[in-house]
Amino acid sequence: MASMPPSISASDGVSPSAPDPRNATTSKFFGAFGEGMMHPIDTLKTRIQSQAVISGSQSEKSILQMLRTVSASDGLRGFYRGVTPGLTGSLATGATYFGVIESTKKWIEEKNPNLGGHWSHFIAGAVGDTLGSIVYVPCEVVKQRMQVQGTKQSWSSSILQKNVSQKAGPQMYCYYTGMFQAGHSIWKQHGVKGLYAGYWSTLARDVPFAGLMVTFYEALKDLAEFGKRRLLPRSDLQVTNSFEGLILGGIAGGLSAYLTTPLDVIKTRLQVQGSISRYNGWSDALRTIWRTEGLKGMFKGSIPRVIWYIPASALTFMAVEFLRDHFNDKMDDNVHEVTGLSLDTKSKIQEPV
pLDDT digit string, tens, across residues 25-57: 555 566 666 677 889 999 999 999 988 877 665
Average pLDDT taken over every residue of the chain? 76
pLDDT at 276: 64
pLDDT digit string, tens, across residues 238-273: 667 888 889 999 999 999 999 999 999 999 999 988
**CA 347-349-350 angle, 5° bins:** 65
pLDDT confidence of 339, banded at 50, 70, 90?
A: very low
Residue 203 scores a pLDDT above 80: yes
pLDDT digit string, tens, across residues 65-124: 889 988 888 888 889 999 999 888 877 776 666 667 767 777 877 777 777 666 777 777
Look at 222 and 338; give whichever has higher pLDDT: 222
pLDDT digit string, tens, across residues 302-331: 999 999 899 888 888 888 888 777 765 554
pLDDT at 327: 65
Residue 14 scores a pLDDT above 50: no
